[in-house]
Amino acid sequence: MSQPSPSDITPVRNDWSRAEIADLFALPFNELLFNAQATHRRHFDPGQIQISTLLSVKTGGCSEDCGYCSQSARFDTGVEREALMSLEDVVVAATRAQAGGATRFCMGAAFRSPKPKQMNAITEMVAAVHELGMETCATLGMLTPVQAQQLKSAGLDYYNHNLDTSESFYPQVVTTRTYQDRLDTLQAVRDAGLQVCCGGIIGLGEGEDDWIDMLHTLATLPAHPGSVPINRLVRVAGTPLDSEPPAQVDPLDFVRIIAVARILMPASHVRLSAGRGEMSDELQALCYFAGANSIFFGDKLLTTDNPDTNQDRRLLSRLGLQPEPAGHGRAVDHLSSERGAAGID
């Protein structure tokens, strides 16, 4: 299937009301999925899925207190503080990921915000991976406008900075930075001309109102995130959220969140992210039908487990899904931004 032409694509809206999003959640399940799949087909090849790889280039020792995170220095999770990886090792990992079918390479570092010396090393990594012809992504904590521009100049395509949850529920998860801090970093990233990768985590103890509020914030940003990761909480021993009573999120509600995200942000890649290792094949298949079209390959997502690559390949084969060609993400995002610049959004 060829890339959709502008005439085939429904307008991308940034003016969704909270009530409209609540109405989507209230739709009968089959009707919601029908609408999500129809939306998906207008913007993407339904038989393709984007393959990304995530590498922790600096693990542990973060000063933040995100209640779900294994890398916080405040919690005893068994994750040791490690030095920043060498440029050579990062290039080897990226080359291996590319050979395995990944078209996007994401580099994560456990920083509250990177220091100048760290930025110098990270920009070298970005430039080297960019030279391989892969899409590049980084998640390094909070950024200043100058830092965002440095990453853009090095060849970075995407910057990940998740909202995690709704603004009202956020203080129950993180206290060392504010919701506005996150929004400010996203603004710096957009102003530098970088694509945003931004989503959230389901199962923190929040409820449907928080899902609606988080998706409303994402869908009404000045430009939709190019990638929207939807994570299912992975409980890590030693973190505050591991000691909380389990948040029982109905699997079908998780699929609803994927479907609503697809309808609200039709030109974005919706990434089925953390927590896939605990999902059945059937649940993952429903998520793909609801509009998820991006995953991470590899046995680790930073420090938490991810499905075995061969297991993923078997499931994708059973579903008839093929890896999305390299560069498709850039093309769709460019088309979306052109439409916005023309006033179509």
- Of 177, 232, 271, 276, which one is the catalytic site residue? 271
- Of 13, 18, 62, 74, which one is the catalytic site residue? 62
313 is catalytic: no
Cβ atoms of residues 260 and 228 within 8 Å: no
Q: CA 37 → CA 44, 209, 250, 273, distances in Å?
A: 10, 24, 21, 19
Beta-bridge partners for 158: 137, 195
Q: Which residues of 109-147 are buried (b: 16+ CB within 10 A; e: fewer)?
A: bbbebbeeebbebbbebbbbbbeeebbbbbbbbbbeeeb
66 is catalytic: yes
State the Cα–Cα distance between residues 248 and 244, nearest whole angstrom. 12
Burial of 95 (0-12, 13-18, 19+ CB in 10 A): middle
State the Cα–Cα distance between residues 340 and 238, nearest whole angstrom. 45
**Main-chain dihedrals φ then ψ at residue 262, nearest 5 degrees:** -60, -45
- Of 106, 177, 232, 287, which one is the catalytic site residue? 106
197 is catalytic: yes
State the Cα–Cα distance between residues 70 and 33, nearest whole angstrom. 34
198 is catalytic: no
State the Cα–Cα distance between residues 55 and 8, nearest whole angstrom. 36
287 is catalytic: no
- Of 177, 182, 197, 276, which one is the catalytic site residue? 197
Catalytic residues: 62, 66, 69, 106, 137, 197, 271
